[in-house]
Amino acid sequence: MFEERTPSNTSRTAMLLFRVGIVLAFIVFVARMFQLQVVSQSEYKTLANENRLVRIETAAPRGCL
């Protein structure tokens, strides 16, 4: 009455491509983090140090009504 279905070859291929895509995306993210943290470290450290404090002098509004 009921026939047992076997997974089709298409679904196995699709699942394999999905897994490969996930692994490739993970590798790209790790490579980009490595590039930002290790390779470009000095550039971003300099930008952060220059951006840390900005001194702005403003005159006090005295005597104005």
- Per-residue DSSP letter, 39: I
Q: What are the pLDDT digits (tens) for 17-65?
A: 999 999 999 999 999 999 999 999 999 999 988 888 778 888 888 776 6
Each domain of the chain, given as residue ranges in start order, spans: 27-51
Cα separation of 1 and 9, whole Å? 24
Please state the pTM of the whole predicted model: 0.59
What pLDDT was estimated at residue 44?
92
Structure tokens at 60: 């006090």
What pLDDT was estimated at residue 25?
98
